[in-house]
Amino acid sequence: MIVMPEPVIEGPRPLPYPNGWFALCFSDELKRESVRTAPFMGGDLVLYRTAAGIAHAVTPYCPHLGAHLGHGGKVDGEDLVCPFHGLAYGPDGACVRTPFGSTPPRATLDKWLVQERSGAIFVWRDHLGRAPDWEMPDFDTTGFSPARGSCYELGGYAHDMVENSSDVRHFPHLHGFTDVAMRHEVDRHHLTIDLTARWKGVDVHLRMTSHGLGHVHGETDVPRFGAKVITRSYATPTAPLKWTLRWTDVMRVARIDALPPFLRQPLYALLAGIAHHWFVRVVRADFPIWSNRRYLARPMLTAEENATAALRRWMMQFYPEQPAPRNGGPILNPARPSTQRRQS
């Protein structure tokens, strides 16, 4: 994991934590009958996977006497057991037994709604405790190379990952693309960017779909090589002006698919590593910008930056309502930790 320096951003933090689905870890990081602590929006959540393989997320503190369940807690079958006194909590969060034979107290863990999709574990967050009105997609990558993944701790705002895909002007200046053309499409909680460009003389076509502010699904086609790369990037706010970027990619090449397995597998291992290195190199060029920029409620965009303007309007649906900025200045709502309401 790579950790960037603390962000250098002046003034109050202008945006609260957003609503939506956010990834807490990759699926393979949460083994059966294991417990894991994940930083999330100014606090912690505890993840655990039962013997049946089902992932759960709960608030971290045992309602009995406040022990942190992520520090020494264990999974017993389908139950989460507190490390302090051994109280066990069932899949619905209710205390189901004690080790001393007494009647279990009417104690209940606050559970968070979980979806496991495309190799990642997501939780739903809404500042008013409302149920989700959309779900995360599950993508089939059968026939693609094994996934390569990376994780980075960054400063700034998690929504910078999403906004980045719509910023047509930064692709040539920062990343070296030429002949960049872009169009966008908005559909409620989803925003899709279609981009065609050339990189070092090679034509590329990128289609990036943002599912809320926590996930961008990208498909990159390189016709010259008959190659397709699918990227899945996840942005998760962890604390004020801090967020985690998780990145995974898989690839498929038509010519390699025709080879026998004993040739196909090592070739994919080599090429997938090269592709992952290239994507990470491109994305890491954004890190110093993201970690040191300041959010402007009213950016002075050019006429050509209509996709960024559309994305700014679209992304505000995921933030709690805020007062109008004074005299054109930034919105000054202070950040608040996530509301830890129980999800039914």
Q: Which domains are seen in the chain, by residue range? A: 20-125 (2.102.10.10), 148-317 (3.90.380.10)
Q: Give the pLDDT confidence of 58-67 residue by residue, as tens digits.
A: 999 999 999 9
Q: Give the per-residue pLDDT at 4.
A: 54
Compute the distance between CA of residue 69 and CA of residue 61 in angstroms, rounded to an integer.
Answer: 6
Q: Work out the angle at residue 193's Cα, subtended by the Cα atoms of residues 135 and 22, and round it to the nearest 5 degrees.
A: 30
| Residue 231 three-state SS | strand
> Is beta strand 55-58 parallel, antiparallel or unpaired with respect to 74-76?
unpaired
Provide φ and ψ at 163, rounded to 5°.
Answer: -60, -30
CA 141 to centroid of chain Cα atoms:
19
Nearest to 294 by CA among 9, 7, 4: 9
Which amino acid is located at 70 in the chain? Answer: G
State the Cα–Cα distance between residues 162 and 160, nearest whole angstrom. Answer: 5
Q: What is the pLDDT of residue 303?
A: 86
Q: Which contiguous run of DSSP H or E holds residue 82?
A: none
Angle at 195 between CA 289 and CA 301, to 5 degrees: 50
DSSP 67: -
pLDDT at position 332 over 50: no
Instruction: Name residue 141's beta-bridge partners.
Output: none
pLDDT of residue 333 exceeding 70? no
pLDDT of residue 323: 46
Q: Residue 252 pairs with which residues in a beta bridge?
A: 228
- pLDDT tens for 183-231 read 999 999 999 999 999 999 999 999 999 999 999 999 999 999 999 999 9
Range with lowest mean pLDDT among 8-17, 203-212, 306-315 = 8-17
pLDDT top residue among 91 and 269:
91
Nearest alpha-carbon partner for 139 in 209, 221, 47, 244: 209
Amino acid at 17: Y
Tokens representing 39 are 């930083």
C-beta of residue 232 within 8 angstroms of C-beta of residue 139: yes
Q: What are phi and psi of 151, to 5 degrees?
A: -140, 135
Q: Which of 43-57, 86-100, 205-219, 326-340 has the lowest mean pLDDT?
A: 326-340
Token pair, residue 12, equals 């109050």
Reported in sequence order, the residue ranges of 223-326 that DSSP labels E, i.e. its strands, are: 227-239, 242-253
Q: What is the mean pLDDT of residues 42-60?
A: 98
Q: Give 36's strand partners.
A: 47
What phi-psi label fits residue 65: left (phi over 0), alpha (psi between -120 and 50 degrees) or beta?
Answer: alpha
For residue 2, pLDDT over 50 is answered with: yes
Contact 320, 36 (CB under 8 A): no
- Give the sheet arrangement for strand 43-49, strand by strand: 34-40, 43-49, 55-58, 111-112
Sign of CA dihedral 170, 171, 173, 174: positive
- Please return the burial class of 292, using the count of CB atoms within 10 Å of its CB with bins 0-12, 13-18 and 19+: middle
